Copies of this chain bind each other. A is one copy, B any other.
Amino acid sequence: MADFNLECSIEFSAPIENILKEKFPIWVAKEINPELFRKGVPEDKEGSRIVDWSIGTNKLNLLIEGSSYLRPHDALLRLRNYFAEKLGSERIGVRNIFGKRYTIFYSPTRKPLDKVEIKVPWVKSIDFDGKVFKIVLENLDAKCFEDRYIERILKRIEEKIGKQYVHGKAGLTQEIKRSEKRIDKYVMKKDMSEILEEIGWAKKFSLAGIWGFSPPFASLIRAIETLIIKKVIKPMKFEEILLPRLIPFDTEHKKGHLAIPNEIFWVCPPFSRESEYFDDFIDYVEITQEIPTEILKNKLDKPIAGLAYAQCEGFYQLFEKKVVDIDKPLRFFDRFGPTWRAEFGGVRGLERLDEFYRMELMYLGSPEFVKNTRDEILDRTVEIVDKIFDLEWKIEKTIPIYLEHAGKVEEEKEEFVKTYDLSILLPFETLSRKEKELEIASFHVHKDFYAERFKYKERKNRIVWTGCTGLGITRFAYVFLIRHGLDFNNWPLEIKKIIKKMPSSLKDFIVE
Contacts and interface: CB of A to CB of B under 8 A. Distances in A.
Interface of A: 117-120, 122, 147, 149, 152-153, 156, 159, 203, 205-207, 210-215, 217-219, 221-222, 239-246, 248-251, 253, 258-270, 272-275, 277-289, 291, 293-294, 296-297, 299-300, 302-305, 307, 314, 317-319, 322-325, 328, 330, 332, 336-338, 340, 342, 344, 354-355, 357, 364, 407, 459, 503-504, 506, 508-512
Contacts of A323: 510-512
21 contacts: A120-B284, A120-B288, A147-B288, A159-B286, A203-B314, A206-B251, A207-B304, A212-B241, A215-B239, A215-B332, A218-B240, A219-B240, A260-B275, A262-B272, A265-B268, A265-B269, A266-B300, A269-B342, A286-B407, A322-B510, A328-B508
A246 B325 contact: no
Given A248-B207, A337-B336, A342-B273, A293 B302 contact: yes
Given A207-B304, A322-B510, A118 B283 contact: yes
Contacts of A287: 118, 120, 122, 149, 152-153, 156
A245 B355 contact: yes
Contacts of A459: 511
A318 B203 contact: yes
A243 B203 CA distance: 10
Contact of A355 (B240, B246, B272, B273): B246
A279 B242 contact: no
Nearest to A294: B302
Given A245-B338, A318-B506, 15 more contacts: A119-B283, A120-B288, A147-B288, A205-B251, A218-B241, A258-B281, A261-B270, A261-B299, A266-B268, A268-B268, A293-B302, A293-B304, A296-B302, A330-B504, A364-B509
A176 to B, nearest CB: 29
A260 to B, nearest CB: 7
Contacts of A330: 504, 509
Given A266-B300, A267-B307, A303-B297, A510 B288 contact: no
Given A118-B287, A245-B338, A267 B267 contact: yes
A278 B249 contact: no
A128 to B, nearest CB: 17
Contacts of A355: 244-246
B266 A206 contact: no
Given A246-B354, A260-B275, A336-B357, A296 B266 contact: yes
Contact of A261 (B241, B264, B278): B278
A288 to B, nearest CB: 6
Nearest to A336: B337
Residue with the highest number of chain B CB atoms closer than 10 Å, among A262, A342, A364: A262
A74 B397 CA distance: 69
B241 A215 contact: yes
Nearest to A299: B261
Contact of A246 (B207, B219, B336): B207
A120 B287 CA distance: 8
A470 to B, nearest CB: 16
